[in-house]
A and B are shown apart, each in its own frame.
Chain A
Amino acid sequence: MTLRLFLTILSLAALAAPVVFAAPALAHPHVWVAAREEILFDSNGDIAAIRHIWTFDEMYSAFAVQGLGKDGQPPTREELAPLAKTNVESLADFQYFTAAKTGPKYHEFGTPTDYSLEADASKIVTLRFTLPLKTPVTSKKPFTFIVYDPTYFVDIELDKQMPVVLKNAPAGCSMSTIKPEPLSASETSKLSESFFSGLSPGSDFGIKLATRTLVVCP
């Protein structure tokens, strides 16, 4: 009797304890990014790379430029180079916050090139880097990509004016952006979940809020 009771209580405790400390893991964005994206086409008309142009919010910008720049001037590109390197290198662990696919197949990325971090006159910081696809991808089939932080520490939103630019694209190519509305009907969220499911199991929150870009060429 006592043993059974003890076991019951023990299992109760084991059930209840995680509720207290592993309860919903809700980080929230601490960093905001306004992203502009460029799709770079090669001479064959294939998609060769994505160039990210990410402008940070005032707070992260202030963090990035602290201790740099002389006499209150914004820091130079050279002064910011070490931070740019750190940022881009550590992005590798997070698949560069980028997921791109044609049909059901996710594309792999190579090592980023041409990266820089620059501060404008009001010390707002912009990170630029080119993310090459491991092998160029045909643009004849619909190509989709999203830019998001799976941990949602960074909230990345596509720029309002010029979100995505097609560079050197064959004639007739077009792009459109689709913004999910996770709070609306469950249909929509189910669609986006199944669309990008399997990307980062258990931490797919950022994806639900991420805007998808669709590129189509004739």
Chain B
Amino acid sequence: MALTLASSPAFAQLARRNPFSIGVNEGAVGQAGRLGLWLLRQQAHFYQILRVGVENAAHNPSALFSLALGAFAYGVFHAAGPGHGKAVISSYMLANERAMNRGVALSFLAAFWQATVAIALVGVASVLLGVTAQTMTAAAGFVEKCAFAAIAGFGAWLSWRKGAALAAVFRAQAPQNSRFRCDDGAGPHGADCPHCIAPDPKQLGEDFSWRQGAATVLAAGSRPCSGAILALVFSASLGAFSIGVWATLAMAAGTALTTSGLAAAAVLFKSSMKRLLGAQSRRAEIFGRTFEAAAALAVLLLGLSLLLGLWASGG
């Protein structure tokens, strides 16, 4: 897994910042097939619509609706690229969530948090303080560094919890003849005697907490995206910052649609794998826990490699 990470061209390219980067790394386009090309074309197309839309809406507020549509569509296609917390959200889903609607809610919250970060960054730095491109790039770079640290921290915390849960499954020895039955205290042993094959899910932190949800949203959405920053700076330069804000929010809605689709797919994949292995079986439990621990580790590795990439680029 770590090898896959290291060999991924996106991470190799992270080591160097693009000369025209606006502070946040967008990764590289690796080997792209026809679908990838098609996606790129769509994004480029809607990006142009976005730019023209901002221009039109700055002069004529009635163009705001078509701008919002263009920005939304751009968000949908753009979210298919790196960033936008897809990795974090879907790994979190694999590691933790079983409820699809909560996954969708988290995806939307992360997308709108991401929009908020971009709006705050440009609003303060560009509109209020009137900084130059270099200062803006440095500020965006700093925000990105914090965001990557948040991903690594979140991954470490998740790995700790999921690792413990996995260990607990293995500690629970399978009894000789009855495979799937928990002692209920009626037999020769008490209910607390560790004869349970699968530990009670509730003891493994299955319950959803808002603190945990907030941590996911923060880790997934703290890195602003270049497209939003550019659109905001552009609209501010036309004296219509609010137009850029609306466009960014519409973009976030589009991004959320794609990421929540991925989150839903992650939940579906996990539940169907467990069903395949037989619900309630020890096998399914081990599979589930292993998978969750691996996904948690993936978030940690992702955060670390992003940080390492920044460090290597001297950022």
Contact = CB atoms under 8 A, between A and B. Distances in A.
Contacts of B91: 17, 20-21
Interface string B26-68: 1111111010110110011001000100010000000000000
B136 A63 contact: yes
Given A20-B94, A25-B82, A59 B233 contact: yes
A59 B231 contact: yes
B37 A183 contact: yes
A113 interface: no
Contacts of A25: 8-10, 27-30, 81-82
Given A21-B87, A68-B132, A94-B16, A5 B283 contact: yes
Of the listed residues B20, B227, B262, the one surrounded by the most CB atoms of chain A closer than 10 A to its CB is B20
Contact of B26 (A18, A86, A153, A155): A153
A27 interface: yes
B4 A206 contact: no
Given A21-B91, A62-B237, A183-B34, A28 B43 contact: yes
Contacts of A64: 133
B290 A206 contact: no
A154 interface: yes
Nearest to A89: B19
Contact of B1 (A17, A27, A58, A206): A17
Contacts of B290: 6, 9-10, 13
Given A30-B226, A67-B133, A93 B16 contact: yes
A20 B87 contact: yes
Given A25-B81, A62-B237, 15 more contacts: A16-B269, A18-B1, A18-B4, A18-B5, A20-B266, A30-B26, A62-B234, A63-B133, A66-B132, A82-B134, A83-B134, A153-B20, A154-B20, A202-B31, A205-B31
A132 B305 CA distance: 36
Contacts of A10: 290, 294
Nearest to A57: B51
Contacts of B118: none
Interface in B1-21: 1, 4-5, 8-10, 12-13, 16-21
B235 to A, nearest CB: 9
Contacts of B291: 9, 13, 16
A11 B195 CA distance: 28
Interface of A: 2, 5-6, 9-10, 13-14, 16-18, 20-22, 24-31, 56-60, 62-68, 82-83, 86-88, 90-91, 93-94, 97, 123, 149-155, 182-183, 202-206
Nearest to A150: B28
A42 to B, nearest CB: 27
A27 B27 CA distance: 6
B97 to A, nearest CB: 13
Of the listed residues A25, A83, A90, A202, the one surrounded by the most CB atoms of chain B closer than 10 A to its CB is A25
Contact of B19 (A94, A152, A203): A94
12 contacts: A2-B286, A14-B294, A18-B8, A20-B295, A25-B10, A26-B29, A26-B36, A58-B51, A63-B136, A64-B133, A82-B132, A94-B19
Contacts of B269: 16
A26 B39 contact: yes
A26 B29 CA distance: 5
Contacts of B78: 28
Contacts of B21: 153
Nearest to B54: A59
Interface in B110-153: 126, 130-136
Given A63-B230, A66-B136, A66-B237, A151 B18 contact: yes
B237 A123 contact: yes
